[in-house]
Amino acid sequence: MKKLFTIAFVILNLMTYSNAEVFPDSVLPPEVVDIKLKSFTAEENRAVLDVTLYNPNDFKLPVREAYGDIYLNDNAIANIEALSNKSLGAHETQTFNVPVIVKPDELANASTNVMMSGVANYRFKGYMMSPVGEVPVEHQGQLTREQILSFFQAAMAIRQSY
């Protein structure tokens, strides 16, 4: 009888852990719709981005924390670490204010790379912490000529304050 109870207990525990791994995989990651620079402070090496996300899930997705890196031509130029108490509604689009800490030396190196190559590919790779687990958020693209000029102006402001 003890043997049967022990085997049943082990099987139930294994089923619990296997089901726990299935649920986060069923969560679709939010889609980045738009990213805009809201503000920038060269003296503090900080910026705030307005990031518009779409939740493709049939349930709301509470956001407790967000973190990640922003890359320019494969150089990590900024970090994101933010706390939140908002929820992204089911099948809704919402804009979040996301604080960014800019890395001045890496930004200067990336700026030089962009000037020499004429190409500015950007990528965000990060995660949102939610009660359902760690949800990946990724976005990439290429800056337009006007955006590159604005980027250089911001990079020069950071370089001068550094």
Per DSSP, which regions of 7-145 are E strands?
31-41, 46-54, 61-72, 75-88, 93-102, 121-130, 133-142
Domain count, the chain: 1
Name 28's Cβ contacts closer than 8 Å, sequence gap at least 6.
Answer: 56, 57
The predicted model scores a pTM of 0.72
Residue 143: inside a domain: yes
- What tens digit of pLDDT does each residue of 76-95 get? 999 999 888 899 999 999 99
Q: Which segments of the chain have a pLDDT < 50?
A: 4-23
Residue 14: inside a domain: no
Tell me, what's the pLDDT at 112? 85
Residue 89: inside a domain: yes
Tell me, what's the pLDDT at 42? 78
The count of residues in the chain is 162
Residue 156: inside a domain: yes
Residue 11: inside a domain: no
Residue 15: inside a domain: no
- Coil, strand or helix at 139: strand
What is the β-pairing status of strands 133-142 and 61-72? unpaired
Residue 4: inside a domain: no
Question: DSSP letters of 85-121?
Answer: EEEE-TT-EEEEEEEEEE-HHHHHHHHHHHHHH---E
With a pLDDT cut of 90, the percent of the chain lying above it is 40
Tell me, what's the pLDDT at 108? 85
CATH number at residue 112: 2.60.40.1820
Residue 5: inside a domain: no
Range of the domain at 146: 29-161
Q: Contact 93/110 with Cβ under 8 angstroms?
A: no
Closest CA to 78 of 118, 130, 35: 35
Tell me, what's the pLDDT at 159? 60
CA angle 34, 36, 38 (to 5 degrees): 145
Tell me, what's the pLDDT at 107? 85
Name 48's Cβ contacts closer than 8 Å, sequence gap at least 6.
Answer: 37, 38, 39, 40, 97, 98, 99, 100
Tell me, what's the pLDDT at 25? 67
Closest CA to 32 of 7, 14, 49, 12: 49
